[in-house]
Every structure is written in structure tokens, then in C-alpha cells.
Amino acid sequence: MDLSTELIDWYQQNKRDLPWRNTTDAYLIWLSEIILQQTRVEQGMPYYYRFAEKYPTVSHFAKAPEDDILKLWQGLGYYSRGRNMLKTAQLVQQQYNGVFPTTYQELIKLKGIGEYTAAAISSFSANEPRAVVDGNVYRVLARFFGIDEPINSPKGKKLFQQLADEALNRQHPALHNQAMMEFGAMLCKPRNPACGICPVRLGCVAFASNATTALPVKLKTVKVRKRFFNYLLITDGGNLLMNKRGEGDIWANMYDLPLIETDGLMEPEALLQLPEIVDFFGENAVIKQKTTVIKHILTHQQLFIRFVILDVAPLKLKKNWFYTTVRNTENLAMPKTIFIFIKDFFNF
DNA sequence: AACCCGGGGGC
DNA sequence: GCCCCAGGGTT
């Protein structure tokens, strides 16, 4: 038996009884599909009941004030879904005389309906042979066929849509799509998949190679964190206030200057007003000099560094702060940017 | 192609 | 803290 047949068998024995599975009303299916976008079934369920009761047809929905829709949507997140639904309901009411479309070609034109949702509605309401590709389907296909192409690359998306199309049971599109997703949600889960009771484990490439945890592959956009470092330089000419960095951050256990990290770019004058600064330096700290902001690029972080030369001695020392002679800074392991600044400042 | 949108749950 | 959830729209 092929994958689809096996999964449909599994589905018919193990499926959850979900309200939107007991109808072919395209409007109600649309309602459920929009609610369930990026939303767990358990979270979306009460919203589905409330919407279906208050707006039993698309005509009822189309007449609703946007405030009412958003109020009912409250707590579900991604609120543009609610706004798009109203636009779509109004369009369906006017252009389609209140009859919700069931063909992929018509559905895909509507606000808030993309490839997945168009495939879902058309297959569930009219058995149009369109393969859905959602998070579950990506996972099931990637594991079963052992595909390590990233699911969120353009190439990967195309590949998985092709695989899904090939795997589609064209005699039973609705059943097939439901089965694929339910299987992914209940058994072939992201973590701790129940391979022990999986009906298709013998045909599963990932199971055979013990690679289920590694699939699917997802490109994680190496998101670069922006950080704002305000370094304080405090010296009497011979001695310099330094800081020894701790664990768990860049430059661990190395040395730098007393650091005030802020959430955004902050002018030194404003910096001195921060309660934490006042606590250490009093209210009479004078800015003797300040540098421009230096951009320091690391792999995962962009540091915006500014040095502020203060004409004040701290009232007390923070943990890890200590004085050393300017000469001795040459013996301390420091980030290059810091060391260069100190070297230039003291002209050695 | 990158970014934004959100609350909730699992680990 | 990070990942993921029945994704889609905008730039």
C-alpha cells in the first residue's frame, strides 16, 4: 500500500471528531481554516464555535461591523485574519451572491486565502484534487521521503508542493488531506514522534536512518541582534577603571570598560540620568568627551559602541570593576575595538 | 527574499 | 529561551 492509503486507514481509525469535518459548507470550512492558520486546534476550537453560532452564513458575516469581528477575534492573534475575513465575506456576498466559492482558482483570489487555504477549502468542500501543504505535511513528507531540502526556501517549497501533489490520492482528496495533517499533528509530531506505533515506519526513510529529529530542515534566518554598548572611560591619567566580563555573553571572561548596555541608541547626556548610573556616579558626573558611535559587526550581533569619557570617580564600584594602571591594560585580554580606543586615548 | 503579524504550549 | 502551531500579506 502506498503512503496515502496507509495514512487514510490510520486516519479513519484515529481521527479526532472536529466540528468542521462534519460539513461540506465552504463557508464554515473557510471559517475554520482561517481560524486555524498558525493556531492549534485546541486554541481555535472555541472561536470556531462562537463565530459559527453568531454568523451562521457568509451573509451574516458580511453584515457584521468590523469592531464586532475583532472583538470576537480577541485573544486569537494575527488580527489581520479577522479584517481580511470581513472583506472577503463582503466580496462573496456581493460578487458571488452570498455563495462561497469552492474552486481553487476562485478561492486563491480572495483576501486571506493563500495556497494552503485554497487547497484545503476546495478539497474539503468539493473534493477538488488539490494537495494541501501545511506545517504537518512538510514534516510528514520530509521524514517519510528523507528530504533535507529546507522547507522554507523557495526551492524547498516548490519541491514539497510537487511531492505533495504526487502523493495526493486523487480519488479521495479530502480524506487524503485530512489524513496527512491529522497524522502530522497527532503521530508524526515535531518532537517525540510516535514512531513505535507508526503504520508507515517501515517505508519511512527518516525512521530507517534514525533521522526523524533532524527533519524537516528549516532555514533559520541568522537573525542579527542589535545591541547598544555605552562604555565609560574613567581615569586620573595614571589609573583606569576596568571591567572583567562574565560568562554567557560575547567576550566571556575578557576585559573591557564599565559598560552600560541600553535597548537603543542613547545620548550620553540621557545616559547619565539613568537611575543605575546616578546610583554609581551621583548626579554631578560630567561628560568630558564622547566618541561617535562605532559599528562593530559580529556573526550574530551588531554592536553599536560609544565611548564616554567621564570626569568623575564612582561613588562605589560595581562587581567586576577594578582599577589598574594604564600601562597594565596591555597585559589584559580585551576586544580589539576596546583596546584600540584605549591605546589611542592614552597615546601609546 | 525578508519581515511582520500574536497568543499559547511543549520542552 | 526557542520552536512550533491546519499561513498570508507587504515591501
- In tens, the pLDDT along A234-293 reads 999 889 999 988 766 778 778 899 988 887 778 888 888 888 888 888 887 889 988 888
Asked if the Cβ of residue A220 lies within 7 A of any atom of strand B, the reply is: no
- Do A206 and A234 fall within a single domain? no
- Do A141 and A172 fall within a single domain? yes
Q: Is A219 inside any structural domain?
A: no
pLDDT band at A294 (very low <50, low <70, confident <90, very high): confident
- Do A39 and A176 fall within a single domain? yes
Cell 564612582 appears where? A314
pLDDT band at A47 (very low <50, low <70, confident <90, very high): very high
How far apart, in whole angstroms, are the C-alpha atoms of residue A108 and residue A16? 28
pLDDT for the residue numbered A95: 96
Task: Please indicate whether residue A33 is annotated as part of the active site.
Answer: yes
Position with higher pLDDT, A235 vs A222: A235
A80-115 pLDDT per residue, tens: 999 999 999 999 999 999 999 999 999 999 999 999
User: What's the Å distance between residue A186 CA and nucleotide B8 C1'?
Assistant: 18
Position with higher pLDDT, A283 vs A342: A342
How far apart, in whole angstroms, are the C-alpha atoms of residue A39 and residue A275? 42
The total domain count for chain A is: 2
Is the four-CA dihedral A47, A48, A50, A54 of positive or negative sign? Answer: positive
User: What's the Å distance between residue A185 CA and nucleotide B7 C1'?
Assistant: 19
- Do A299 and A239 fall within a single domain? yes
Q: Is A320 left (phi over 0), alpha (psi -120 to 50) or beta?
A: left
pLDDT for the residue numbered A211: 92
The residues, any chain, with a CB within 8 Å of residue A231's CB and separated by 6 or more, are A256, A257, A258, A259, A260, A305, A306, A307, A308, A338, A341
* Domain stops at, among A188, A214, A240: A214
pLDDT for the residue numbered A87: 95
List of E strands, chain A: 225-233, 239-244, 255-256, 259-262, 287-290, 294-297, 301-310, 321-325
Our measurement of the distance from residue A251's CA atom to the centroid of its chain's CA atoms, rounded to an integer in Å, reads 28
How far apart, in whole angstroms, are the C-alpha atoms of residue A270 and residue A304? 16
- Quick one: DSSP state of residue A232? E
**From A33, A42, A106, A182, the catalytic residue:** A33
- Do A103 and A201 fall within a single domain? yes
| pLDDT above 70 for A222 | no
- Do A193 and A326 fall within a single domain? no
CATH of the domain at A339: 3.90.79.10
User: What's the Å distance between residue A181 CA and nucleotide C6 C1'?
Assistant: 7
**Cβ atoms of A257 and A271 closer than 8 Å:** no
C3 C1' closest Cα residue? A190
Name the nearest CA neighbour of A106 among A167, A30, A204: A30
What average pLDDT does this structure show over A124-134? 96
Q: What cell does A340 get? A: 584600540
Which one-letter amino acid corresponds to residue A64?
A
Report the footprint of strand C: residues with C-beta closer than 7 angstroms. A 18, 20-21, 32-33, 36-41, 43, 78, 80, 84, 110-118, 134-136, 139, 178, 181-182, 184-185, 190, 218, 220
What average pLDDT does this structure show over A304-329? 90
Domain residue limits at A166: 3-214
What are the angstrom distances between the C-alpha of A104 and each of A58, A73, A132, A221, A273? 18, 26, 11, 31, 60
